[in-house]
Amino acid sequence: MRLPPIALYVSEEQRRRHKLRNILHSVLLILGMVAILGVCAYALWGGEGVIWALLGGGLAFAFSPNIPPEWVMRMYRAVPLHPRDAPELHELLATLARRAELPEVPRLYWVRSPILNAFAVGRPEHAAIAVTDGLLRSLTMRELAGVLAHEISHVRNNDLWIMQLADTMSRFTSILSYFGQLLLIFNLPLLLVGRVTFPWLAVLVLIFAPTLMALLQLALSRAREFDADLDAAGITGDPAGLASALEKLERYQGRFWEEILFPGRRIPEPSLLRTHPPTEERIRRLLSLYEARPEIERQIHLPTRLRLPDHFGAALGPPRYRWPGIWY
């Protein structure tokens, strides 16, 4: 099994500029979420409320339980994928983790689902990557290398920590919003007879704050996805591999029913509501990395397909509800 050598497809200056832009983007989004949290606290309790809300949010994040990756995988009913079950995949994962300079190779899990998906949990010192049955049976090893490198990039860049911070602030803002709306409801009789007054601007802020926080979370997620794509291309040395995987994911999941129901057209999707950037834009950015190095070989020497043992039966059947969501 041989991957191409690590190669920077963009100059060091361009790469540094790209990194700084993404970091600045993330910082601005986090500051925006902090500002919304502060405004909600100010609407309820004034200046002191802002201080206590920020302190409370910081303490909630600092003392939030560090859930072991194994527990998360148990929620998804994921099964450990041992080296004896998929030796080529484990060898590939170890190579990618070594190139990414992770202190430990993430553990690999198999999720019995026909949906094409992969996700990572944990920290660089102790992480796990889950891949679905549909993903393993649909992608080539070259495409799997790009997907695994993408998830490893999320782990290396501490994206999971950043998203946890954003999620903590979003939850805290929702709590303040619900509290403010309950106060308004309980004081509604006094409000109707003119005994108390509420600043209606503050009421509007409390009502729409959770929605604004959700939109900022989505924007933050999109910024981290672009960064992970670039890092994955650098780890594998094969931007086309990840681009091919993204195209197949879009084909199998994003457009299959659209082409049946709306031939030649797409169901409109507001960009503000996407958790990931548009697939076409991600593919375009990946393939543009070849422009600086057109001589780079695009044919990668990897096994064509992954073979799973017989006891990993193909996932079939309709989805059913099981906490915390709908799984196969």
* Residue 131: per-residue pLDDT: 93
The Cα-based distances of 125 to 79, 97, 105, 154, 320 in angstroms read 21, 11, 8, 13, 34
Residue pair 10/239 in contact by the 8 Å Cβ criterion: no
3-state SS of 16-45 is HHHHHHHHHHHHHHHHHHHHHHHHHHHHHH
Is the preceding peptide bond at 324 cis, omega within 30 degrees of 0? Answer: yes
Query: Hey, what's the torsion of the CAs at 110, 232, 87, 142, to 10 degrees?
Result: 100
Contact 156, 20 (CB under 8 A): no
The predicted pLDDT at position 294 comes to 54
pLDDT band at 261 (very low <50, low <70, confident <90, very high): very low
Confidence of residue 8 (pLDDT cuts 50, 70, 90): very low
Contacts of 60 (CB under 8 A, 6+ apart): 168, 172
Q: Tokens for 249?
A: 């994911």
Report how far residue 33's alpha carbon sits from residue 3's, in angstroms, rounded to the nearest whole number: 41
- 88-139 pLDDT per residue, tens: 899 999 999 999 999 999 999 999 888 888 999 888 899 999 999 889 988 9
**Residues composing the chain:** 328
More confident residue, 59 or 153: 153
Hey, which of 30-44, 107-121, 156-170 has the most confident mean pLDDT?
107-121
3-class DSSP state of 107: strand
Local confidence band at 276 (pLDDT 50, 70, 90 cut-offs): low
pLDDT value of residue 149: 94
To the nearest whole number, what is the mean pLDDT of the chain? 76
Tokens 């457009």 -> residue: 255
Backbone angles phi, psi at 4, to 5 degrees: -65, 160
Catalytic residue among 88, 125, 151, 291, which? 151
Domain ranges of the chain: 12-309
> Is the pLDDT reported for residue 255 higher than 70?
no
- What is the rounded distance in angstroms from the CA atom of residue 118 to the CA atom of residue 132? 6
d(CA 246, CA 239): 11
Query: pTM for the whole thing?
Result: 0.74
Joined together, the tokens standing for residue 261 give 């129901």
Active site residue 91: no
Q: Range with the lowest mean pLDDT among 186-190, 195-199, 285-289, 300-304?
A: 300-304
